[in-house]
Amino acid sequence: MARIRDVSRQKGFDMQKRKWLLPVLLSFFIAGSVLANTDSALKVEEFIYKGEHGTVTFLHKKHSERNAADCGFCHSALRTFGGTVDQLYGHSICLKCHEERNGPTECGQCHVGIKEDSLNLQSDRDQ
């Protein structure tokens, strides 16, 4: 009868090394999955918000290129507002930044398809 040799021991691949192989491989797999999902989230170029005051299109790339050093300003504010962009967020965060950095500040420059006479946005800004 032929004798079966343990090839793994001959090559120095003993049990001590084997027990770390699976956790290391799983770590690489998990890290790769997280990075792949993050990368796909960053590829979204525009967000369109439709509401009773017209449609606002947010161009992420345009904003992130201009404000690359301060991603946390918008993203931390989004967490504060529950991850949604509404009138309160838009006017307290977006409009404030637009005023400070010479962005568009007139209603119709961001809100497309609105009737200016039907809005009372100026009073909302002052609140």
Q: Report the chain (127 residues): mean pLDDT per 10 consecutive residues.
A: 58 64 80 61 73 85 76 77 76 86 89 64 46
Q: In the prediction, which pLDDT does 125 show?
A: 46
Buried b (16+ CB within 10 A) or exposed e, 34-49: eeeeeeeeeeeeeeeb
CATH number for the segment(s) 44-125: 3.90.10.10
Q: Are strands 46-51 and 54-59 parallel, antiparallel or unpaired?
A: antiparallel
Which two structure tokens, joined as six digits, stand for 13?
């691949």
Tokens 């300003």 sit at which residue? 73
Domain ranges of the chain: 13-41, 44-125
Asked whether the CA dihedral 45, 71, 109, 126 is positive or negative, the reply is positive
Q: In the prediction, which pLDDT does 5 show?
A: 61
> Alpha-carbon distance 52 to 23, whole Å?
52
Q: In the prediction, which pLDDT does 64 show?
A: 80
Give yes or no for a contact between 93 and 77, defined as CB atoms under 8 angstroms apart: yes
Side-chain-side CA neighbours of 111 within 13 Å: the count stands at 20
Q: In the prediction, which pLDDT does 124 show?
A: 47
What is the pTM for the complete model shown? Answer: 0.49
Q: In the prediction, which pLDDT does 113 show?
A: 82
Q: In the prediction, which pLDDT does 126 show?
A: 46
